[in-house]
Copies of this chain bind each other. A is one copy, B any other.
Amino acid sequence: MKSSNIPAPAVRRLSLYLRQLEALWLADQRTVSSRQLGETLKLTDTQIRKDLAYFGQFGQPGIGYDVGELTTKIRRILGTDRTWNVLLVGAGNLGLALSAYRGFAKKGFKLVAVFDSDPQKVGKRVSSNGDLSIQSISEITKTVKEKDIRLAINAVPAEAAQEVADILVTAGIRGLFNFAPVNLDVDPMVAVSAVDLAVQLEQLSFQVGMSQSIEETEATRRAANAG
């Protein structure tokens, strides 16, 4: 399959291109060059052209890219030119916040079911979405089939995450968005994308510590030069 020699970083950037293209469209800009796109995204123009070239020829020499057309093409590549039904497990703080997030729907992801293991919560309406009420974990398999759900958001506590992941995979979920701070062990055919909020802050902590020590080094050097 030729598709697997597409670098993963290129696919990640595709999403960023799409986001920027949508912004340009709203700003009534109908044409954009790789150079201009690169400036706002802090990437080189070559990289953008190379990334796009993995998927086809979308631009016009001397002109650039048609914003609307490229948007359509990237959506098709990413598979977001249609609606995806998504389920959410974990109706805690984070889960409910995610269920209220409008950004998903805007991109074609439709939350169609919410599950929680707490019997106190089961049956309650999801306030941000009147159509939904919280279901028991035991209904996952049935609901996945009924509603043709391929993607799942896992927002349960760390202790329960692996167990829930197993249930989701068995139910036929194909992509898993994991918020729990654990490494899930799932069938390699299932795509997993993970966000660990604390890990992100750790990375910032490292970078800040780093830039501070660089500053100090610089200061020392300047002081030495001055002295």
Chain A residues within CB distance 8 Å of chain B: 1, 3-4, 11-12, 14-16, 18-20, 23, 40-42, 77-80, 84, 86, 93-94, 96-98, 100-101, 103-104, 106-107, 109, 128, 150-151, 174-177, 181-183, 185, 189, 191, 193, 195-214, 217
Contact = CB atoms under 8 A, between A and B. Distances in A.
Contacts of A3: 210, 213-214
Contact of A208 (B14, B79, B183, B185): B79
- How many copies of this chain sit in the oligomeric assembly? 2
Contacts of A195: 195, 197, 200
Given A11-B206, A195-B200, A202-B80, A174 B211 contact: yes
B191 A103 contact: no
> What is the interface of chain A mostly: helix, strand, loop, or mixed?
helix
A209 B197 CA distance: 27
B101 A208 contact: no
Nearest to A201: B109
A78 B202 contact: yes
B97 A198 contact: no
Given A12-B199, A151-B208, 4 more contacts: A15-B202, A84-B205, A93-B97, A175-B205
A112 to B, nearest CB: 14
Given A79-B209, A93-B97, A107 B198 contact: yes
A224 B98 CA distance: 45
A207 B191 contact: yes
B93 A196 contact: no
A109 B198 CA distance: 8
A92 to B, nearest CB: 8
Given A3-B210, A210-B3, A19 B181 contact: yes
B201 A107 contact: yes
Nearest to A173: B208
A29 to B, nearest CB: 15
Contacts of A94: 97-98, 100-101
A197 B78 contact: no
